Amino acid sequence: MLEYTLRRLVGTIPVILGILLIAFVVLYLVPGDPAATLAGPRASPEDIARIAREMGLDRPLSERFVTYLGRMVRGDLGTSVVTERPVLTSILEKFPYTLKLAVIAMVFSVLIGLAAGIFSAIHRGSLIDRATTLCAVTGISVPVFLSGLILLYVLAGKLRWFPTSAFGAEQSLWPLVLPAFTLGIRSGAFLARIVRSSLVEVLNQDYIRTARAKGLSPSRILLRHALTNALIPIITVVALDFSSFLNGSVIVETIFEVPGLGRFAMDAILKRDYPVIQGIVLFAALIFVFVNLVIDLLYAWINPKIREEMMGGAA
Amino acid sequence: MKRLLLSAVAVSLVLAVVGILTSHPGDTSTSVTGGTFRAYLTSDPGNLDPARGVDVNESSVQAKIYSGLVRYDENMKLVGDLAESWEAQSDGLAFVFKLRPGVKFHNGQAFSSADVVYSFERLLDPTTKSPRTWVLEKVVGAKERLQGLASSVAGISAPDPMTVKITLTEPFAPFLSLLSMPSCYILPFGSASDIDAKRFFEKPAGTGPYQMVGRERDSYVRLAAFPEYFGQKPQVGVLELRIIPESLKAEMEFESGNLDLLQLHPSNYARFAGRSEFDGRIHDVPAMSVFYVGFNNLKPPFDDVRVRRALNMMIDRGAIIKAVLQGRGVPARGSIPPGISGWSEALPGYTYDPKTALALLEEAGYTRKKPLTFDLFQKSSQAAFEITRLLQGELKKHGVVVNLRPMEWSALKDAIDKGEAPSFYLSWFGDYPDGENFLTPLFHSKNWGSGGNRARYKNENVDAMLTSAMRIQDPEKRAAAYAEINRIIVDEAPWLYLWYANESYVLGPQVEKMTFSPLFSVDKGLTMKLCR
């Protein structure tokens, strides 16, 4: 198992290098000059050239990539060209907000997804199942900017059950509940669909019929026998959603004024703040790779069959 | 600091007033000094280094923290700030400033001439990477310092602790106006040097009416009145600036009573103006700005003056202002807005005259069968679309085909500065109320592209006249010179002139009064007062 983990870790290195290369090249190809953006609306070409020189943008692309890789390897994410603050400091400052938001959103997502999915699967084919499915499809289809604004307007603006913004979220988690709910319903709705279909598939298996014939209680059958076996696709969806939440949600963070990573990334992109964009890309890549690794290990833990294959491969 | 921004961005800064009033036991008056004034900015003021900032949100915070030698007051009058008085010598080639005694920085440091010399030399230090070095470019020795050939600036000196002398390479009448800009704000000597610079700007110390007491990036900036401020004291105790990028969100916060000042846009103006509870609380302020469609004067079809003039006559500015801007604007007769030197009542500009316009187009070779067709570059924002779609429709009525090319801001700026955009919808916000600010950067051929002359207009006569006008010391004669230059440029129609727009704000019920100036982005925050 340890060897497998190590092998997987080593395997992520080319993936991360590839992501860094793509991020670097894409930034180079995108129109918009960081020096000109920094220089503002009235700056002579000499001014822009002077700023570009100070930023090292006059160097050949290959040289810049090597310098950049070297810095990344040493864990130096550089300094923002706009704020002149270390990129890592900023990321670490923003991440707690995004993390809190992601965790609460995931709680909503899992609660909604499991409850609705299990309920639907048990009552499959019934009117209730169809109503739940309709709700889930609506939840998936409504874009976050719309659901966010509606929730904000109704629950916070009109009914005043929640604060209208996450302003002050450094002191308490309460202001993050509504934004997290906004994120959570969408992924929860999707999860409900996955839970339902996985469960329905498992519930039709022979061993479930056997368990029933043995006279086991329905709840025991459901939780112990059916759900455990339906877990793999569910975990995959939950984990991928979680890692995407961890990279920040631009829209929810903007609507609810959460000072998290998503807004930070968006601002950096609009201002062509290369070091910040590259730093965030690296951070996001690391999160995805790490979460994927954890999922794989979880699969092995849940499913002995996969574990045996892994061991066999590792031997 | 010149601002060419699209309408939505231009509307960036907004102040609002707080509801949380501090209690004053025994105070029975209807207004209080103190309390928290709640405001918002549309993006985080990322860098509070005055030498670096080109962003309106950064400037608005800097204006409250720092002071310059001079500033414009609420009536657009140039007054002393850290300078008590000044004197122009040798026909405007040198300025001697007498500094205000007894001024303290927020960190306790006493203010003296050394701080002025330090701040100005720092602006010109190449390692500061300031995009605004042009503000001091006419100072003797500025070029040498900027190129790294000198370690100090010859033209800036401090004969004694309360005197600063600045020598220019040539007379430059608007120089004092330029000194009012945020780039020329004064920092405490030595504070922002080297490694400490970054730490210093996390919680900067200036001599302004407010000092920073707290901030959370992308969330808020909290400023408190500085008790030892040398000027008229702020009438509120705390100024809380939240960062709210989404205008709909700001509106909701205002409606919920969490903000007490909201900037209004064409899309929500009517909604507020129609409600009796906001009677007398909506303020329309001429914003010292001009909105326009720039033509690339080098590229066909806009290298033909007939085409440029014809388009100027195809737009009924008055009707559009009424329809889209709720009447909050004035048809542009040129690039200089009313009230700025060089504006002339006698210059009519272009008026709606489709017949003449069509005749001109036909002369230039365009007919209904072979219509004039061009691309209009713009920012992909709703505010920009509201205008460009309307222009597109108006011109279509006269057989002109406009293809809209929406782009993200950095990419748009790139395309325009490189001359790739045949026409573009933009605006120009003045940094100081002087005709020079609305002519030289925009139409002098040395400023082609990123320098401000994005239309790539070139008239050697105009270039020469602009250069000689800046030497004229008599304000009236200089205004007359700008009026004449403006007339010549308007005749050649390098832009499709649109309008001088107003900015509008609505105040919350907690605000007793507040004055808005056309230079609101560098407002010192001294006029707002809360009621009990």
Concatenate the DSSP letters of all residues of B90-109 into one string: GGGTEEEEEEPTT-B-TTSP
| DSSP H stretches of helix in B135-262 | 142-146, 175-179, 196-202, 247-255
* Out of A36, A48, A259, closest to residue B216 by CB: A259
- What whole-number distance in Å separates Cα of residue A173 and Cα of residue A96? 11
Distance from CA of A162 to the nearest CA of B (A): 12
For residue A161, give its domain range. 91-314
Residues of chain B neighbouring A182 (CB-CB closer than 8 A): none
Contact: A43, B450; criterion CB under 8 Å: yes
A74 CB burial (10 A radius; 0-12, 13-18, 19+): exposed
- Taking only the tens place, the pLDDT of each residue in A120-159 is 988 888 998 999 999 999 999 999 889 998 998 889 888 8
A164 assigned to some structural domain: yes
* Out of A37, A85, A255, closest to residue B246 by CB: A255
Domain stop point among A73, A100, A116:
A73
Q: Is it the case that residue A20 has pLDDT exceeding 60?
A: yes
Strands of the sheet containing B163-167, edge to edge, are B83-89, B94-99, B163-167, B156-160
Higher pLDDT, B345 or B9: B345
Same domain? For A167 and A306 the reply is yes
Same domain? For A209 and A302 the reply is yes
User: What CA–CA distances, in Å, run from B130 to A51, A312, B460, B491?
Assistant: 8, 62, 30, 36
Please give the average per-residue pLDDT across B405-421, as a whole number.
Answer: 92
Q: Which CATH number characterizes residue A282's domain?
A: 1.10.3720.10
A83 assigned to some structural domain: no
A201 assigned to some structural domain: yes
Q: Say if residues B230 and B101 touch (Cβ distance below 8 Å).
A: no
The pLDDT, as a whole number, for residue B9 is 34
Q: Is it the case that residue A303 has pLDDT exceeding 80?
A: no
Same domain? For A222 and A174 the reply is yes
CA count, 13 A, side-chain hemisphere, A234: 27
- Taking only the tens place, the pLDDT of each residue in B509-520 is 999 999 998 887
Token digits for B16? 């609002």
Same domain? For A263 and A229 the reply is yes
Same domain? For A170 and A257 the reply is yes
- Taking only the tens place, the pLDDT of each residue in B85-115 is 999 998 889 999 999 999 999 999 999 999 9
Categorize the per-residue pLDDT at B25 as very low, low, confident or very high, splitting at 50, 70 and 90.
very low
Chain B, nearest residue to A265 by Cα:
B218
Same domain? For A134 and A29 the reply is no
How many CB pairs (< 8 A) connect A and B?
A: 143
Q: What angle do CA B486, B487, B492 make, to 5 degrees?
A: 95
Chain B, nearest residue to A94 by Cα:
B217
Q: Say if residues B452 and B442 touch (Cβ distance below 8 Å).
A: yes
The pLDDT, as a whole number, for residue A260 is 92
Distance from CA of A87 to the nearest CA of B (A): 13
Q: Say if residues B175 and B108 touch (Cβ distance below 8 Å).
A: no
The pLDDT, as a whole number, for residue B138 is 95
Residues of chain A neighbouring B256 (CB-CB closer than 8 A): 156-157, 160, 164
Same domain? For A308 and A230 the reply is yes
- Taking only the tens place, the pLDDT of each residue in B467-488 is 999 999 899 999 999 999 999 9
The pLDDT, as a whole number, for residue B11 is 34
User: Considering only A288-302, B164-178, B194-208, which range has the smallest mean pLDDT?
Assistant: B194-208
The pLDDT, as a whole number, for residue B18 is 28
Q: Say if residues B99 and B159 touch (Cβ distance below 8 Å).
A: no
Candidates B367, B375, B421; CA nearest to B399 is B367
Same domain? For A54 and A22 the reply is yes
The pLDDT, as a whole number, for residue B29 is 39
Please give the average per-residue pLDDT across B71-75, as a whole number.
Answer: 88
A86 assigned to some structural domain: no
Q: Is it the case that residue B16 has pLDDT exceeding 50?
A: no
Same domain? For A66 and A211 the reply is no
The pLDDT, as a whole number, for residue A311 is 62
Please count the structural domains in chain A: 2
- Taking only the tens place, the pLDDT of each residue in B251-274 is 989 988 999 999 998 888 988 998
Same domain? For A69 and A149 the reply is no
Query: By three-state DSSP, how is residue B453 classified?
Result: strand
Candidates B420, B42, B427, B442; CA nearest to A33 is B420
Q: Which of B138, B219, B442, B445 to mutate to test the interface with A (most CBs of A within 10 A)?
A: B219
Residues of chain B neighbouring A54 (CB-CB closer than 8 A): 126-127, 129
Please give the average per-residue pLDDT across B497-501, as a whole number.
Answer: 95
A80 assigned to some structural domain: no
A230 assigned to some structural domain: yes
- Taking only the tens place, the pLDDT of each residue in B429-439 is 999 999 999 99
Strands of B244-368, DSSP E: 261-264, 282-286, 289-295, 329-331
Same domain? For A241 and A122 the reply is yes
Q: Which of A50, A257, A266, A277 to mutate to test the interface with B (most CBs of B within 10 A)?
A: A257
A246 assigned to some structural domain: yes
The pLDDT, as a whole number, for residue B193 is 65
A185 assigned to some structural domain: yes
Single-letter code of the amino acid located at B293: V
Q: Is it the case that residue A10 has pLDDT exceeding 70?
A: yes
Categorize the per-residue pLDDT at B12 as very low, low, confident or very high, splitting at 50, 70 and 90.
very low
The pLDDT, as a whole number, for residue A52 is 85
* Out of A32, A83, A169, closest to residue B410 by CB: A32
Higher pLDDT, B198 or A183: A183
Domain stop point among A73, A102, A126:
A73
Higher pLDDT, A211 or A188: A188
A168: left (phi over 0), alpha (psi -120 to 50) or beta: left
Residues of chain B neighbouring A270 (CB-CB closer than 8 A): 408-410
Mean pLDDT score of chain B, rounded to an integer? 89
Q: Does A252 touch chain B (CB under 8 A)?
A: no
Contact: B129, A54; criterion CB under 8 Å: yes
**Backbone angles phi and psi of B446, in degrees to 5:** -70, -15
The pLDDT, as a whole number, for residue A232 is 85
Domain stop point among A41, A73, A105:
A73
Concatenate the DSSP letters of all residues of chain A into one string: -HHHHHHHHHHHHHHHHHHHHHHHHHHHHSS--HHHHHH-SS--HHHHHHHHHHTTTTS-HHHHHHHHHHHHHTT---B-TTT-SBHHHHHHHHHHHHHHHHHHHHHHHHHHHHHHHHHHHHTTTSHHHHHHHHHHHHHHHS-HHHHHHHHIIIIIIIS-SS-SS-TTTTT-SGGGHHHHHHHHHHHHHHHHHHHHHHHHHHHTSHHHHHHHHTT--HHHIIIIIIIHHHHHHHHHHHHHHHHHHHT--HHHHHHTT--SHHHHHHHHHHTT-HHHHHHHHHHHHHHHHHHHHHHHHHHHHH-HHHHHHHHHHH-
The pLDDT, as a whole number, for residue A112 is 94
The pLDDT, as a whole number, for residue B387 is 92
Same domain? For A126 and A27 the reply is no
